Structure 1
Amino acid sequence: MFRLALRAAPRFVATQRVAVTTPLAARAYSAAALSTADVTSRVLDVLKSFEKVDAGKLTATASFTTDLGLDSLDAVEVVMAIEEEFAIEIPDAEADAINSVDQAIEYVVKVSTVTGVRRRRKLVL
């Protein structure tokens, strides 16, 4: 009697449920690369802050020694100020090769596309 009822009753089959997990997408964020115009403006601002630099002679293609009249120690100070402005570290071998404004701009643009140099924050008063 119970056998007949068991046969007639629908059977519940234990199915194994496989959990489908979707891997989370890994996202990496970095600062956007600086534009050449932004880098040029900031490098020129750094150079204008030096007393020995005549702002009238300052151009984006000016040489530190020939056009701006800086000696080697002044050029090192300029490179250090650029490092500080853009929060980067320029290796000594590459710093020695930076002898003009355009070389400094090229280097910072190149580094900003690779490492994501920070943008200057604007203060809102």
Structure 2
Amino acid sequence: MSDTLDRTAIDNFIIDALVELGVERSDIVDDAALDELEVDSLDMVELSQSIRKQLGIVVKPKDFDKLYTVGEVLALCRQKAGLE
């Protein structure tokens, strides 16, 4: 994990990753539902792999199973990184 990994770095990475998955940046807000953003389970697998490889945060696709909003994904990643 990077020494410069903080809340902002995590949030920015995840927002950028969601944009790469085809989500409009303007639609990415904490209370946005993943299903309404058309983020499916395969997207979540890809996202979890990116988070693990690029940020060094150990998350598994199943960690996202009970998450329904962008804010919940961000909070989980922050928590796994030891920031919350």
TM over 0.5: yes
Q: Which runs of 4+ in 1 moved over 6 A?
A: none
Match of 1:57 in 2: 27
Provide the aligned C-alpha RMSD in A: 2.7
Structure number with higher helix proportion: 2
**Which of structures 1 and 2 has the bigger CA Rg?**
1
Query: Does residue 74 of the first structure (1) align with residue 36 of the second (2)?
Result: no
In structure 2, C-alpha distance between the alignment counterparts of 1:32 and 1:106, rounded to whole Å: 19
The normalised TM-score by structure 2 is 0.67
Which runs of no fewer than 5 residues in structure 2 stay unpaired? none
In structure 2, C-alpha distance between the alignment counterparts of 1:87 and 1:32, rounded to whole Å: 11
Equivalent residue pairs, number: 83
The normalised TM-score by structure 1 is 0.50
In structure 2, the residue corresponding to 1:56 is in which secondary structure?
Answer: helix
Query: Does residue 104 of the first structure (1) align with residue 73 of the second (2)?
Result: yes
In structure 1, C-alpha distance between the alignment counterparts of 2:49 and 2:55, rounded to whole Å: 10
